[in-house]
Every structure is written in structure tokens, then in C-alpha cells.
Structure 1
């Protein structure tokens, strides 16, 4: 069947090999773009809206999993369904089991033609089933992908930057924020929320804002997940500082904080954290 695909792979030889094997196994498949980093995969994915997206797990900057997360969060409410995702990985059996639990397909590096042939068959069957089903709009079209990503993140490999499930022995208690020649000691217990800002993270307290030079992905590994909740790919909030969660007519969630005027948006991927009892 005719379909379009985007390949995100930072190793040119592997990318070229994957393209060649795909065209041999699935001649009707049209490769609309090939990129070498996660940010480009997100940008081109949103612009071209392919039927299938092959994502390398480890790429410069934004990882393949982070690109998939961002795609689910930024995908337009109306229009084509999200691409079917296939992760290209060199991970061990632990991670592969996580992909299987999430019903997300994967191919191992180096790509084996026999395994890729099975992936192509699965993709064709899924696209055929999608074409025959009633079209879905809005969040209904995103729901399956969001559920799959939640399962994958719950398996402990969402960071994709080190050993699966890696975590510190104890949560971070103090942040050392430097500005010029001064280092300010910020107790983590005073932080309202963290927000990604390019190569930095904004540390927001009730009275002050600091910048620390780290990624939110790295910082998350050091935080207590019971106290700090990720509500967006770029935002982590201290749970006890959430005063309320409001849903607008379009279904979007916004958080109000205790003793602070900032309001924080919750992405689709994390909306299920906020349910009435």
C-alpha cells in the first residue's frame, strides 16, 4: 500500500541502509525526509505528517523518545492521525520488553532484513485497519499513542541517556545555582516548579527565579517522583504546590499554584494524573 515515512537516524550509513531496505521490502513506501537529530524529527514530523516515523532512540540533543513525546504533545487537534512509531535501538532485552508491553514496534541495530520485513507487514496491516476505520478527530486520534508512551515511560527508559531505569540512591535535596561569582543554595523543598529553557532549567521558588545549566531530563533523574510531577515535556511541578486543575471547553488542563500567580499548562500525555476522587 502507498504510505509516507520519515527516518530520524544520526548515523548516515545506518540511515542509508534502512532506507535501502525499506524501499526493497516496501516499494510503495515514500520516504519524505531523513534527519539526524530529534529536534529535526519533531519539526519535520509536524510539517510533513508522515504515516510512519522511524526514530533512533539515541540522537544528539532530543532523544527519539523525547521527540515522540513532543510530537504527541504538539500534534494538531484536528487532521491526520499521529504517525505509527518504530524505534531503532541498540538496547538490551529489558528495554525491548518495554517496547513490546507498549505495543510499539522496534528494529535492532544493525537492521536485519528479516526483522524489518515483519515490521513492514505490521505497519501495512495497521495502516490498512486505520484506513478502514471511522476517522477520529482531536484527542481520540491521539489516545492510543499517548497510552503507549505512558506505558513506555513507566518502564523507566524514557530518559534514553544511560542505563535503563537508572536512578540516584537518594533524591536531590539542594540545588547550587550560580550567577556570576555567587552560588545560591536553593533547597529543593522550596521549589515550586522547574521549566526547561534552552540549555538551562529555570528554578522557580515563591520569591525568586534561578537558572541552572543542566537539562530537565538529567534533573528529573535526581528528583523524588512522588513530590515532583512532570506535567509537560518542559515542566515539572512540586505536587503539594498545586492548588487546582481547571479544564477549558477544549479539554485543556491548566494548573493554579498555591501562593503564586503563575499558571501551568498540562500536556495530553500527563493529563491522567488529574482525576477527581
Structure 2
């Protein structure tokens, strides 16, 4: 049931409580006229509350246990009473984001930035105002969700937390695990990648993160003019190198600007620094 005051009403959906709280706080800052009327922790709960509460906008996380955000969105826009807007909240990479940008649905990248949230709020308000009272619910929104879901299943279903998706062209973003949080890291900010038997460490100046993608799969996805493989387990960003030295045994060592770790160059890749 809609609020008598005419204020817009929202449902916030995410399986992580802290992320729900963060989004609500930022919504209060950039969209003070919006009432967050409830929260949900998974897709099924989101569907049930969307049907019962009829919010004007649902902020919907994509990756949740059980029914995913995409599956919930498809069900929500098919509700006979639905005439609202869906905003997906996602940690997907650039290839999946391209699918969102080609569709009629809005999205926010985790972690949600206030400026981007403000832009989304303006777009959602404009679309809600453009909807005619009594217009048929579903329709275009249903088609948009179905098309988006189909595209994401083709290009993004294999994207898992701490992995690198397949796609065309050099990789620009990497989805990483930092503790219990998923982060998107711009590849240009990566100082180096180092693999062990199970994980690959992604090192930036600010943080250390981990992915499950081995070096051999990263090599063809990265720009060869930006990253060089210097060891079977190490890739380094050329822009991050301060100097290359040799130890007493003649082994080359790569020193990283502003970072204490020294990377060893294996004999197989020594030719890269002939003049070092």
C-alpha cells in the first residue's frame, strides 16, 4: 500500500547486513524524500515483500543464497500489481556491466559511491514520474529483465567471487575477495600478481586481495604492454617498477615503487631486463 504522503518508498535487499545499512545511510543523504520501508536478506524474501508492500523501487543485490537477485527481479516485474523500478546492486565486472548499460534497468556497483547513487536516484525518479497512472504493469520491464538475464547467463554466469571472467579485450577490472568482502579493483592499480597453489594474490598500494584465477589464465587477459610475467608465479605492472637489481648469484630482483616486497625474476624471463 502506497504512503498517503505521496513519498516514494523503497525496499533494500542484500544478504549482508552491513551493506544494507551502508546503502540505507547513503540513500538518506542523497535521496532524503525516499522512505526505506523494509529490508530483505534473499531473493524469496524480496519477492514476498515486494508483492505485499508494493514499493516504488527495489534495490536488489544480485548474488544471494537461494533465489538470486536476477531471478527475484524476473518474478517481481511479473507481479500484476508491479509498477515500480528495479535497481540492481552488483559486484560484477565490466563485461556484465556492459549488459546493464545496454538495458533499461539501472545498477549500482559495490561499494556504492554517493555520487553514483545520486545519479541513479535522479534517473529512477524521472522514470517513475513518466509512468502513467494505471499503465499496464510488467510489459517492457519484464522484457528488459528477461533480456538482461539471458545476456548475463551467457557472459557472467561463470563469474564467481574471487575469479576473473572471460571476455574480449584486455581485462580492466578484477573482482577480488578482501576478507569477507568482495571488491572491484581497477587493473591499473595492481602492483603485481603472485600465485601459490590455491590463490593468486592481487597487490595494490592500499590493499591485498585474492582471486582463484592462476597466473597462466591471467596472462592472456592482461595487456602485455602493461604487465610482464617475470616468474611462473608472478606478473608485475611495469608502471610500478622502481628498479631492477642483481644479487650475488646474478639473479635479477624487481623492486616496487613504494612497496617493500622484492620480486624475483626467473631465468626463463631474465631476457626482459637485459640492460638491468
Residue aligning to 1:154: 150
Q: Give TM-score scaled by structure 2 length.
A: 0.53
Would you say the 8 A contact 1:72–1:145 is kept in 2? yes
Q: Distance in 2 between matches of 1:159 and 1:7?
A: 26
Residue aligning to 2:10: 5
Matches within 5 A, 1:1-277: 2-73=7-78, 75-76=79-80, 79=81, 81-130=82-131, 133-136=132-135, 140-157=136-153, 162-163=158-159
Aligned residues: 157
Aligned-pair distance for 1:102? Answer: 1.6
Aligned-pair distance for 1:127? Answer: 1.4
Would you say the 8 A contact 1:58–1:161 is kept in 2? no
Residue aligning to 1:237: none
Q: Distance in 1 between matches of 2:77 and 2:127?
A: 18
Residue 155 of structure 1 aligns to a residue whose secondary structure is helix
Name the structure, 1 or 2, with higher relative contact order (CA <8 Å, separation 6+). Answer: 1
Q: Deviations over 1:109-166 (max 9, x none)?
A: 0010010010001011111112xx3521xxx321111120122023133897532999
Aligned-pair distance for 1:15? Answer: 0.7
Residue 137 of structure 2 aligns to a residue whose secondary structure is helix
Would the alpha carbon gap of residues 159 and 8 (structure 1) be closer, same or farther in structure 2, given more than 3 Å must change?
farther
Q: Give TM-score scaled by structure 1 length.
A: 0.53
Q: Distance in 1 between matches of 2:48 and 2:134?
A: 25
Q: Distance in 2 between matches of 1:58 and 1:13?
A: 15
Q: Deviations over 1:231-267 (max 9, x none)?
A: xxxxxxxxxxxxxxxxxxxxxxxxxxxxxxxxxxxxx
Would the alpha carbon gap of residues 146 and 112 (structure 1) be closer, same or farther in structure 2, given more than 3 Å must change?
same
Would the alpha carbon gap of residues 160 and 30 (structure 1) be closer, same or farther in structure 2, given more than 3 Å must change?
farther
Would the alpha carbon gap of residues 36 and 161 (structure 1) be closer, same or farther in structure 2, given more than 3 Å must change?
farther
Structure 2: runs of 5 or more not aligned: 1-5, 167-276
Would you say the 8 A contact 2:74–2:146 is kept in 1? no
Residue 146 of structure 2 aligns to a residue whose secondary structure is helix
Name the larger-Rg structure.
Answer: 2
Would the alpha carbon gap of residues 91 and 20 (structure 1) be closer, same or farther in structure 2, given more than 3 Å must change?
same
Q: Distance in 2 between matches of 1:48 and 1:158?
A: 33
Would you say the 8 A contact 1:95–1:157 is kept in 2? no
Q: Distance in 2 between matches of 1:157 and 1:18?
A: 26
Would you say the 8 A contact 2:87–2:105 is kept in 1? yes
Would the alpha carbon gap of residues 142 and 26 (structure 1) be closer, same or farther in structure 2, given more than 3 Å must change?
same
Moved over 4 A (4+): 158-161
Would you say the 8 A contact 2:86–2:106 is kept in 1? yes
Aligned-pair distance for 1:100? Answer: 1.4
